[in-house]
Chain A
Amino acid sequence: MSTLAHDDHHDHKPTGLKRWFFSTNHKDIGTLYLIFALTMFFVGGSMAMIIRAELFQPGLQFVDPQFYNSMVTVHALIMIFGAVMPAGVGLANWMIPLMIGAPDMALPRMNNMSFWILPFAFALLISTLFMEGGGPAGGWTMYPPLVLQTGNAFPFLIFAIHFLGVSSIMGAINIIATVFNMRAPGMTLMKMPLFVWTWVITSFLLIAALPVLAGGVTMLLTDKYFGTSFFDAAGGGDPVLFQHIFWFFGHPEVYILALPAFGIVSQVIPAFARKPLFGYASMVYATASIAILSFFVWAHHMFTVGLPIKGELFFMYATMLIAVPTGVKVFNWVATMWKGAMTFETPMLFSIAFVILFTIGGFSGLMLGITPVDFQYHDTYFVVAHFHYVLLTGAVFALMSAVYYWLPKWTGYMYDERLGKIHFWLSLISSNVLFFPQHFLGLAGMPRRIPDYNIQFADFNAISSIGGFAYGLTQLLFVYIVLKCALGGKKAKPRVWEGAKGLEWYVPSPAPFHTFETPPKLTKEMLEH
């Protein structure tokens, strides 16, 4: 096996705290991102546990409704901006330079700043829970006029959003510059691994969507403190305008969470099916079409606010249209497995589960996208079930898959496969126990964001809560597996998975601190996918 590392040169690493605080190394920064994301996954997760504990029975048990709603709000913000997005950026940091043969990210100092904003931004956000008036409790969607009733937390919430936006935009710029400027000779665009493709396209979405959110929350701020009337009909504005602005950002945002997951699964499935990715070019085009279309469907979140009928129809059809490229992707994943010599290591299990469960989430999305039907489902637990299928058993499962897939490359050791499988099966079962019943609850009319419910919903809620606690506990096992692998185990070979394609498998495991300081000479074999 040929490897591309030259061990002749001093692989000097900075030491101590400076290594992490002042880092300009994509691998270290990637590690920081991943650790941060996992930490936030547990912080946001404990909030979810509080929510599920409260919903275990009808009536008010543990928390007062205001606090309950701040849990719902902050849980969502943490999971989206603190867990899933940073985990994706962490993977991008670690893997993109390795996958395209670049020495580092294009703008290494800015890369460090993108990361170090995150702990500070979440300090702003989480501190609000201890303030007069409590944390923000109007939902992560921050609709006025409700959100304007937030107490002292309000400006902190707004600035935390701005701050996170700065981080994401810098990260996105960095990824674009890296991919377009730093590829090794021979790594043409259509030779790039799909994970790289999905991340460039995600970066476009970030750059186009996040500033719009920043503008929207700025208007909230001036409406509250400077007497403007963007969202007040008494002054000629309209609260619905905020919903338009928010969802113009919000729908692309859900693809910001989903596209990197698509990329991961497109790396993992061919590796364990031992077949090239089916329809590579169509995957690239499908990803691009999804990204473009995602800017034209936002009002499917607003069917019930009283849009003109033409608007309802336009956004319904546009939403249906997204199912086409999404279908292309699902078809290609399945076709990649078709007649493959498949094995079922943990990354593959998570990826296959992703394909199935994400598709379930896509189907419930289609149901929600049908305007007249959404009038019944909107703001019920059906929506909650929908987005948790696409986000938890979708995006998070894919991220788990990625960690198992690349962990040996990062640490130099194999993780414990038996424990990995146990983690997978427990996660699979518990998350379905957790979220599947929520479909029924929603169809029967249980509203979201309310701590109490009618007695008829009791059984499904109890089941769902049990699934929730089981899922939460199971993730402790994940931490144990990762730590165990970081500390030792069976030595990993450079090519960890014999069916895996891509440049990252031509460098040693663990990947040395510096790789590809001069552009590697790529052979045809290295460029396969």
Chain B
Amino acid sequence: MASQEIYYVPEGSKWPIVGSLSLFITFMGGAMMFNNAPGALYVLVLGLAALVYMFAGWFADVISESLAGKYSKQVDVSFRMGMGWFILSEVMFFAAFFGALYYARVFSIPWLGGEGQGLHNGTHEFLWPAFQAMWPMNVMPDPSNYTQYKDTIPAFGIPAINTALLLTSGVTCTFAHWALKKEQRKSLCLWLAATVLLGFIFVGFQAQEYVHAYKDLDLTLNSGIYGSTFFMLTGFHGFHVTMGAVMLAVILFRSMKGHFSNKDHFAFEAVAWYWHFVDVVWLGLFIFVYWV
């Protein structure tokens, strides 16, 4: 807990308000896109660019403060707690989508198929008596608005390879950490590079899988609840992998510049935690989305 050192409270900074403003512009641009408003794309791109500018500037400040030795052990603990609780909030975000998947499979589809008593099979009886519960569900209760798909992505193809890739990247990430602790700069950079590479290969495979699904299988976001949960879960996960890989790349770049010491490398650890989190979410996806 509290030591006798002075806790570093930064001077006023423009980054927070720049961050709020750029998020505002981004959201506004996004919302305008949905409304087909003129110039929406420019607003969105401006917002995203401002966001990148903000992140770069804010982190540059933090890194230079860190290199200047302004951060005590206690500040480090604050950062650690911040990252840990942030990851928990991400877990809850994914939980909503896993919850939707569970709900569809355990409740809504069986009810639509006529299971249950009272109100529950009302929809089945009166609206779509022909509908039969199944999973993956490729005949919709009312097919008129939805795309029927030919097949789903089998678990033991690309997804299994991707599982191996991500798990391996978790291991290489840990090797990088061990190397850092032993102050072996070169092997730190090599293991990190391997991790980044594995991450991007994963994303590449995932992209290929999407193209295959859309082009060959007619499996799209519009393919009923199966397509909805499939693409939203894997899509948000893929986005997180991409972000994680970019962050790892930044850490690699910093490692090459000689940042971090065996005792002091919070940024490295934060990104490593994030990477493991993304890994665990993938395991959930592999099991519940692709496999069972």
Contact = CB atoms under 8 A, between A and B. Distances in A.
Interface of A: 14, 18-19, 21-25, 101-104, 106-110, 112-113, 116-117, 120-121, 123-124, 152, 154-156, 158-160, 162-163, 166, 169, 172-174, 176-178, 180-185, 207-212, 214-216, 218-219, 221-222, 225-230, 232-238, 240-241, 244-245, 248, 306, 308-309, 517-519
A184 to B, nearest CB: 6
B188 interface: no
**How extensive is the interface on chain B, given as a class?**
35 or more
A113 B20 contact: yes
B30 A109 contact: no
B232 A228 contact: yes
A178 B228 CA distance: 40
A173 B34 contact: no
A124 B225 contact: no
A46 B181 CA distance: 60
B64 interface: no
Contacts of A207: 85, 88-89, 92
14 contacts: A22-B12, A108-B10, A109-B13, A110-B16, A159-B31, A181-B77, A207-B88, A215-B97, A219-B97, A234-B142, A237-B100, A237-B104, A237-B228, A309-B118
Interface in B24-65: 24, 27-28, 30-31, 33-35, 58
Contacts of A159: 27-28, 30-31
Interface stretch (B108-116, B191-199, B260-268): B108-116
Nearest to B5: A518
A235 B111 CA distance: 13
Contact of A116 (B16, B127, B137): B16
Interface stretch (B156-164, B200-208, B216-224, B241-249): B216-224
Nearest to B83: A173
B225 A152 contact: no
A238 B93 contact: no
B215 interface: no
A169 B111 CA distance: 36
| 10 interchain residue pairs of minimum CB distance | A215-B96, A22-B12, A236-B225, A113-B16, A234-B142, A227-B222, A228-B228, A306-B119, A155-B31, A120-B24
A303 to B, nearest CB: 13
A178 B81 CA distance: 9
A163 B26 CA distance: 11
A501 B94 CA distance: 43
Interface of B: 1-2, 4, 6-7, 9-17, 19-21, 23-24, 27-28, 30-31, 33-35, 58, 74, 77-79, 81-82, 85-86, 88-97, 99-100, 103-104, 107-109, 111-112, 116, 118-120, 123, 127-128, 137, 140-142, 144-146, 220-222, 224-229, 231-232
Given A22-B13, A109-B13, A120-B23, A181 B232 contact: no
A232 B228 CA distance: 11
Nearest to B32: A155
Given A155-B31, A172-B85, A245-B99, A120 B10 contact: no
A177 B1 CA distance: 11
Nearest to A185: B2
Best-buried of A14, A159, A185, A225 by chain B (most CB within 10 Å): A159
Given A22-B13, A109-B13, A162 B27 contact: yes
Best-buried of A154, A174, A221, A519 by chain B (most CB within 10 Å): A519
Contacts of A218: 232
Best-buried of B81, B221, B226, B227 by chain A (most CB within 10 Å): B81
Given A180-B81, A227-B221, A152 B35 contact: yes
Contacts of B142: 234-235
